[in-house]
A and B are shown apart, each in its own frame.
Chain A
Amino acid sequence: MTPLPALSPRRRRTDLLARAVLATFTAVALIPLVLIVYYLLHKGLPAISGHFFSSDPTGNFLGDAGGIKSAILGTLELVALATAMAVPIGIGVALYLVEYGRDNLFGNAVRYFVDVLTGVPSIVFGLFIYVTLVVSGALGSSFAGWKGSAALALLMLPVVTRSAEVVLLLVPDSLREAALALGSPRWRVVFRIVLPTALPGLVTGALLAVARAAGETAPLLFTATLVNGTTFNPGDKMNSLPAQIFSDVGQAQNRLVTRAWGAALTLVLMILILTLIARTLARRSRIT
């Protein structure tokens, strides 16, 4: 029996070592996730109670610190308003890029700038709104919920546009052509064929953008700022979960810190649920 050329032990060792290193690094990458989940639950659950969700932060130094009602409601309002601003515009821009702007100068310029926008830090969006809307005291008071929403909308816009463009491009051109060949005007093709076909993907993209916006603090710091009471008037300053957490972390009091953990847990759960819905929706309907 004539043996095969032997594999040098050094190569075998290198191979095993490299594989072990790669696997270890992957495990290391997951450690923060595990730790964060653990501490969120460990420190956040004790804060959860009916009172926690039903009362506003009191801002008192002593006594009852209050819950996070205004923060939750504020986040819901701010993000809802931001979504209403960003999603139609974002999808509109994406529609332009796909239907009319695939290969001309204007379309390419817009595409480039949307790309640029994806890389802008979120605090700069807050600054954008601050220097234009807040400082000038547009429409009444300087700080207002809707201005915070505007900052969030700026943040969401490139995300929505980018993902919408990808999804719209996936709608086969043959569908468009078939409809046009039947004598349908372009706008009908867009609204009756293209958008409905792309709808699940568009919703997914929007949901992911919403999840991202819900967690943002920086854009709100000097637009909607922080306030204790619940308000439904977008013209007022408005509280939000991220801003509330940020504020509580800075204080050196245990019960505030506990509240911060509870609020963090709530926020992360909200984002997780949104992300999960988005992902399930994406998986359920693939445009082939």
Chain B
Amino acid sequence: MEAGALATRDVPPSIGGASRARHGDQALRVILMGLAGLILALIVFFLIFLVLKAHPAFARFGVFGFTFDNNWDVAHAIYGALPLLVGTLITSAIALIIGVPVAVATALYLTELCPRRARGPLTVLVELLAAVPSVVYGLWGVFVLIPNLKPAEQWFADTFSFIPFIGGGKVAGPNYFIAGLILAIMILPIVSAISREVTATVPSEDKEAALALGATRWEMIRMAVLPYARPGIVGGAMLGLGRAIGETIAVTLVIGNQPQIGKHLFDQGYTLAAVIANEFGEAANDKLHTGALIAAGLVLFVLTLVVNAIARAIVRRGQHGRRPVPAQATAVAVQ
């Protein structure tokens, strides 16, 4: 970089030159501040409109009634969102139960146990899961997972029928489990990426201390890596939860879209996000129905806000006394 490149055409500092530079600086600052402020304004703006349009539903059923009534009956224009809420929670819970252990195991394997050469390619493969769009997961779920897993699911339901909810019942094609399974696959890349970054920042001196004490590899992971990485992993899991809660298209294709709380793992169900995608077309001219769907969207929005805020708080609290995780990691991972 030559000094000349910067100074070309610039009058050497004089009153005239200086004020022209100041104009440019002023302009830039104002423009950029305006853009930043735009973000804030937009969010507030959208929220207001969302609440406005949801008003018909809230007015009719009350906020509490809308959210927690167990009756979503389009035919009779009754909108209580409990089945949707419960369905969202069930599928997200399944996603976490299946997805987080696998993601953390993958992270531990890739950081601590994997042969050096294989680490790069395997990491890329795990991250490729994030490149598959939601609708393709849905397509695959409908035509590959549902038919092929049905026998196994039925066997499972029959064998464990003595356990409430998990066992028993007749396996519907699309059901909670398939939706949860696909969600688990979808959140795998995020949780794995964050877990990987956190386990990579475990100070090597802690690991060496454990090894020098005569620990096996797994004991070293248990003593030095996991305790250190735990807050970050939990934060990553919560971010995955937030993603699972909001996932729409894949879920609506494989959950059956039945507005009731299923009694079994393999029953059909509904989620907040799925109902919006599924019913918006037919609700077009029905102000109450549309309002109810938008209200569902509002509930969904608030839910993800809360989950993500908790996730951020956990991660931030967990950073206390630890090395900072490189910002690129979380920035790229949360995509």
Contact = CB atoms under 8 A, between A and B. Distances in A.
A123 B101 contact: no
A23 B109 contact: yes
Contact of A131 (B29, B49, B129, B300): B49
Interface string B20-64: 011011011101110111111011011001101100000000000
B114 to A, nearest CB: 8
Nearest to B220: A15
Given A185-B24, A209-B335, A246-B249, 19 more contacts: A22-B113, A25-B102, A26-B106, A29-B192, A36-B132, A39-B143, A121-B300, A124-B300, A127-B294, A132-B45, A162-B334, A163-B332, A188-B21, A188-B24, A193-B1, A218-B248, A245-B136, A246-B138, A264-B139
Given A26-B105, A183-B10, A121 B301 contact: yes
Interface stretch (A45-53, A102-110, A227-235): A102-110
20 contacts: A14-B216, A19-B218, A25-B109, A26-B126, A29-B106, A33-B125, A92-B31, A93-B32, A120-B246, A123-B273, A127-B297, A130-B294, A163-B328, A182-B3, A208-B332, A208-B335, A215-B132, A218-B249, A221-B280, A272-B131
Main secondary structure of the interface of B (DSSP, over half): helix
Contacts of B33: 96, 100, 106
Contacts of A132: 45-46, 49
Interface of B: 1, 3, 5-7, 10, 12-13, 21-22, 24-25, 27-29, 31-33, 35-40, 42-43, 45-46, 49-50, 52-53, 101-103, 105-106, 108-110, 113-114, 122, 125-126, 128-129, 131-140, 142-144, 185, 188, 192, 216-219, 221, 239, 242-243, 245-249, 253, 273, 276-277, 280-281, 294, 297, 300-301, 304-305, 307-309, 312, 327-328, 331-332, 334-335
A45 B6 CA distance: 55
A100 B32 contact: yes
A261 B52 CA distance: 40
A22 B31 CA distance: 51
A12 interface: yes
A183 B221 CA distance: 54
Contacts of A109: 40
A33 to B, nearest CB: 6
A218 to B, nearest CB: 4
A116 B308 contact: yes
A78 interface: no
Given A19-B217, A93-B36, A100-B32, A245 B327 contact: no
Contacts, number: 272
A89 interface: yes
A271 B131 contact: yes
Contacts of A190: 28
Contacts of A121: 245-248, 273, 300-301, 304
A92 B52 contact: no
B229 to A, nearest CB: 14
A261 B174 CA distance: 19
Contacts of A119: 239, 242-243, 246, 304-305, 307-308, 334
A11 interface: yes
A131 B50 contact: yes
Nearest to A276: B131
A249 B142 contact: yes
Contacts of B24: 185-188
Highest count of chain B CB atoms <10 Å: which of A7, A43, A93, A190? A93
A130 B284 CA distance: 11
Given A121-B248, A218-B277, A92 B35 contact: yes
B53 A131 contact: yes
Contacts of B294: 127, 130-131
A264 B137 CA distance: 10
A131 B22 CA distance: 41
B53 A267 contact: no
Interface string A217-255: 110011000000000000000000010011001100000
A11 B216 contact: yes
Nearest to B133: A215
Contact of B248 (A25, A35, A123): A123
Contact of B32 (A11, A92, A120, A212): A92
Given A93-B39, A118-B334, A36 B305 contact: no
